[in-house]
Amino acid sequence: MDDREKFLFDLQGYLLIRNFLSPEEVAALNASIDANMDKKGEDGNSNTGESKTLGGTHKRGFFAGMLNWPKPWCQPYRDIIAHHKAIPYLNTIHGRGWRLDHEPFILTSDKGSEGLVLHGSTDHHFDGSQYYTYRNGEIRCGMVVFQYQLADVNEGDGGLCVIPGSHKANFPSTVDIRRWEQDRNIVYNVPCKAGDLVIFNEATMHGTLPWTADHERRALLVRYSPKYLHFAGGFYKTVFPEWVDELTEAQRAVLEPPYIYHRPLIEDDGETVVRPRRDGPYK
């Protein structure tokens, strides 16, 4: 994470990284979706907050369980959870020892799909699961979201939106702002190309705008928390499924439950190390 990216993430509460995934990676992820369309459901997190502007004719589409899809369709998603390019960003945001929080999932939208009310903890009170802080030259966050775009999002199409800088807001937002009914100009619909990555802090106010484009939206969301934190109960708490034996050490490490001592830590180069307690404090 270079100085420019740190500045933008600190300033905005989100960061757009162009061409994060290769065309081959995007194609493999989309091919897996196309091969598993029978697993598509409706978004169970549907919530427009009774907004007059976020409603649509139908809910967003939803996929989950990709890590356990039949081979070879699971592999592109297993490769994502500890992607070699993502590791340095997570080590900067969380320090070493971060973990997968929610199960990864895919959101899809076609024309007319509803939005999602804006939400985020901001900084008007401290929430230990979703926060932003800077001390002694280091960023630290609660849960963050890595949203990989698998289809283009042009300006005005809809999809992910944020209120830049709201992770530092000292006052709560009004209901009308959260509903995208007032001061709509402060809400930014992030334009992306397939393969781009948007990292955003859960403290940053964010949501989804109704989808207006003729092509399908496809977004893969992978969420990470610090090594000591459960946000959504954890992906796996104590018992791992048999297929974890097929993962790399780094992929296996991100499925660990929250704890500190003797935790496997992932270096920027992807090497997994275990530091015993006597080696001093964790960073």
- The answer to whether residues 124 and 212 touch, using CB atoms and an 8 Å cutoff, is no
- Tokens 């907050």 correspond to 49
pLDDT of residue 91: 96
- Tokens 């020892």 correspond to 97
Residue type present at position 125: H
* pTM listed for this prediction: 0.91
pLDDT of residue 145: 98
pLDDT of residue 275: 64
The HSE-up count of residue 25 (CA atoms within 13 Å, CB side) is 18
pLDDT of residue 234: 55
pLDDT of residue 276: 55
pLDDT of residue 229: 86
DSSP structure class, residue 52:
S
CATH 2.60.120.620 is the classification of domain 3-279: yes
* Strand ranges for the chain from DSSP E: 14-17, 41-42, 61-64, 99-100, 105-109, 116-119, 132-135, 138-141, 144-149, 159-162, 188-189, 197-201, 206-209, 217-225, 264-266, 272-274
pLDDT of residue 255: 87
Q: How many residues in the chain?
A: 283
Q: What CA–CA distance (Å, rounded) separates 149 from 20?
A: 10
- The answer to whether residues 88 and 1 touch, using CB atoms and an 8 Å cutoff, is yes
- The answer to whether residues 144 and 95 touch, using CB atoms and an 8 Å cutoff, is no
Residue type present at position 177: I
Q: Is residue 62 classed as helix, strand or coil in its secondary structure?
A: strand
Domain segments of the chain: what residues? 3-279
pLDDT of residue 236: 57
- The answer to whether residues 137 and 95 touch, using CB atoms and an 8 Å cutoff, is no
Per-residue pLDDT of the chain (283 residues; tens, 9 = 90+): 999 999 999 999 999 999 999 999 999 999 999 999 999 999 988 999 999 999 999 999 999 999 999 999 999 999 999 999 999 999 999 998 899 998 899 999 999 999 999 999 999 888 888 999 999 999 999 999 999 999 999 989 999 999 999 999 999 999 999 999 999 999 999 999 999 999 999 999 999 999 999 999 999 999 999 998 877 765 555 667 888 889 999 998 988 888 887 888 899 999 998 865 444 444 4
